[in-house]
Structure 1
Amino acid sequence: VAFAGVMFHLMIGSVYAWSVFTNPIAKQNGWAESSVALAFSIAIFFLGMSAAFMGKVVEKIGPRLTGTIASFLYGTGTIMTGWAIHQNSIWLLYLSYGVIGGLGLGAGYVTPVSTIIKWFPDKRGLATGLAIMGFGFAAMLTGPVAQQLMASVGLEQTFYLLGTFYFVIMLLAAQFIVRPNLALSSITENSISQKKGTRLTRGPELTANQALKTKSFTFLWIM
């Protein structure tokens, strides 16, 4: 499950390599670089907006299904980016890479993280940190690969190939991102509490509005 989560984040983390494409797209289509860069900003905006509510969706329909949806959205958005370049349509670029791809990013970001922490209740920080590491590490891998592809097959075909690759890998990884059995989770938590010589304690359950008013939320928001 942890490895599948890392692979998932390696795929969606490729969004941070957008700067590799900015200049080639602008030159080929005669667009301003700032206009092309806006597609990245839209994608990150929809990443944040969709991630804000995807946690509840993951809990409701399960990580495997949300992971599958994320693979469709991000893969389709990347492939459609190549089509937008072919059609010389900046608005189609914003829709494909920005909106559709951004929604896939949000769903793909939350799904592994919210699931992995349930498998490692005693090492939640380490487990989620490793998964998110894939998200940040992806740009270093995607950049050279994308440049190689653009030089060999062309700009549009690069997005077709990358989008297909992202879709396949994410779809396969999503099948392994599943929630642990509840009984197993209970046994694991009990064993952890026995090792520590104390019972696990949980903080008070807060509503969304109550959580927004806490000092912890304010501190995290400032960070």
Structure 2
Amino acid sequence: MAPLPVPGVLARSRSVAPPGWSRWLVPPAALAIHLAIGQAYAWSVFKPPLEDSLDLSGTASALPFQLAMVMLGLSAAFGGTLVERNGPRWAMAVSALCFCSGFLISALGAATGQYWLIVLGYGGVGGIGLGIGYISPVSTLLKWFPDRPGMATGIAIMGFGGGALIASPWSTQLLSTFGPGTSGIAQTFLVMGLVYAVFMTLGVLLIRVPADGWRPPGWKAPEGTSGAEGEGAGAPVTHQVSANSALRTPQFWLLWVVLCTNVTAGIGILEKAAPMIRDFFAGSATPISVTAAAGFVGLLSLANMLGRFTWSSTSDLVGRKNIYRLYLGVGMLMYLAISLMGDGSKLLFIACTAVLVSFYGGGFATIPAYLRDLFGTFQVGAIHGRLLTAWSTAGILGPLIVNAIADSAESAGRSGPDLYNLTFTIMIGVLLVGFVANELVRPVNKRHHEPSPEPSPAPEPAAGTGAEGTGTAGTAGARSQQPEEAAQ
């Protein structure tokens, strides 16, 4: 299928980097998109005012966020191949258009008191922007940083985790400035949509793709194949698997389970962060204020952001499978600690949830490199997009488990930690399933590999050069291969 017709400035051919262009300009371009769409993690700031203004339950106020996560996974799955064909600049432009339009539609919904428009705008249209924007720079970064794939994707994807660090206090300030009620919510949505449009456009204009055959100066791929097994990192990938073939491998579905369980365990906390900490310590001598709860959301965003860079960079040293053992295994211990001792110490509760959210973010940042190790870089963007359907599933499961159990417990007259203890126990079981799935990951069977291209025949030696071709023609032939060898 040919690439979609796109305006000239957005065409892939117009975004090829010229010689000497610094690859370190690519992460800032990716961050411009991811810091914007990372606002999704600050949704919990909007839950209380929406519930008060429109008389919604906690489960109902989670709908825009849940739909956004569903659309993120679906648009990433269906759009991954288009991103590969049309290039990251086109994808980033589509992301900006959808994401910012979602805010404007939501502003109209809040202004008119039509909650379904908020669900449609923020969750439906905006969710498409989330999915396309999330995957748009990933394969490009892997091509620019073959020597440090975990670090490269961690830099960009940490922006998605850090988006709430900006959006949470900003949203709180806007809501306070514009006043309570649907009018204030509408104006907040409007301002955020317009500002994000300007910010995301900077990333669209800055992004570049490497020229064919480009490699980092002086870099030579190390020997070995451990990276293909998902145990080591930094090793060259000597095989390539197409997106369609990847779907027929057990490795893809095992990683789908790994990602889904890791996300489910973290996203439930993020979606309900502000009301959760207030509920958990409502009966303490010093209850949590609205401002402090917003600060807690910002702190979790910081943990999410730092976890994406720190843990994914660590995976370049210890291997992808080992780092997921950390995410899933220690994550179970964190939930156990909260269940047993969390209500006795605010510091313990905050520390454990911050670690859990850092693992959640780290899992997202590490998964592209895990896919690269197992399937190669041939269609890693499309494979990554399809794997993000696990995020869609988790985006429903996580908030549903947390909100439904909390609403049910509240209806039964419970309060404080009793609203969440059953949820934390369930999350331990969820992470256990992911831990087992990660242990079952093995190298991809060779039958799924793409066939290697046939080598070009060697040139015939000129007469008089000898059997070894050491004359003029042989030297010229050797020189003609140097650029190709240097590109490798």
Matched, 1:203 2:234: no
Preserved CA contact (<8 Å) 1:9 1:109: yes
Give the alignment partner of residue 175 of structure 1, picking from 205, 209, 230: 205
Which of 66-75 and 174-183 deviates more?
Answer: 174-183
Partner of 2:102: 77
- For residues 102-146 of structure 1, the C-alpha deviation after alignment (integer angstroms, 9 at most, x for no partner) is 000001101021221111111111100111111112122211111
1:210-221 map, 5 Å: 210-221=245-256
1:96 is paired with a residue whose SS is helix
Partner of 1:58: 83
Matched, 1:165 2:201: no
Q: Quick one: structure 1 residues 206 and 61, their matched pair in 2 at CA, closer, same or farther if it must change by over 3 Å?
A: closer
Shift of 1:58: 1.1
- For residues 41-94 of structure 1, the C-alpha deviation after alignment (integer angstroms, 9 at most, x for no partner) is 001000011111222111211111110110010011012111111111122112
Structure with more contact order per residue of length (Cα contacts < 8 Å, sep ≥ 6)? 1
Give the alignment partner of residue 192 of structure 1, picking from 214, 220, 224: 220
Q: Which runs of 5+ in 2 are unaligned?
A: 1-25, 179-183, 225-234, 259-488
Letter in structure 2 aligned against 1:181? A
Shift of 1:25: 1.5
Letter in structure 1 aligned against 2:238? R
Alignment partners' CA distance in 2, 1:34 and 1:200: 46
Matched, 1:126 2:161: no
Shift of 1:28: 1.8
2:46 is paired with a residue whose SS is helix
Preserved CA contact (<8 Å) 2:36 2:163: yes
Letter in structure 2 aligned against 1:25? L
Alignment partners' CA distance in 2, 1:83 and 1:95: 11
Preserved CA contact (<8 Å) 1:67 1:108: yes
Letter in structure 1 aligned against 2:220? I
Q: Which runs of 5+ in 1 are unaligned?
A: none
Shift of 1:98: 0.9
Which structure is higher in helix share? Answer: 1
Letter in structure 2 aligned against 1:216? Q
Partner of 1:6: 31
Alignment partners' CA distance in 2, 1:197 and 1:126: 20
Preserved CA contact (<8 Å) 2:32 2:202: no
Q: Quick one: structure 1 residues 136 and 178, their matched pair in 2 at CA, closer, same or farther if it must change by over 3 Å?
A: same
Shift of 1:205: 2.7
Q: TM-score, normalised by structure 2?
A: 0.42
Preserved CA contact (<8 Å) 1:81 1:96: yes
Number of aligned residues: 218
Deviating beyond 6 angstroms after TM superposition, the runs of 4 or more aligned structure 1 residues are none
Preserved CA contact (<8 Å) 2:223 2:236: no
Partner of 2:232: none
Alignment partners' CA distance in 2, 1:61 and 1:78: 26
1:11-22 map, 5 Å: 11-22=36-47
2:136 is paired with a residue whose SS is helix
1:73 is paired with a residue whose SS is helix
Matched, 1:23 2:48: yes
Q: Quick one: structure 1 residues 86 and 201, their matched pair in 2 at CA, closer, same or farther if it must change by over 3 Å?
A: closer
Shift of 1:190: 8.2
Letter in structure 2 aligned against 1:166? Y
Cα RMSD over matched residues? 2.0
Partner of 1:102: 127
Preserved CA contact (<8 Å) 1:64 1:175: yes
Q: Quick one: structure 1 residues 206 and 73, their matched pair in 2 at CA, closer, same or farther if it must change by over 3 Å?
A: closer
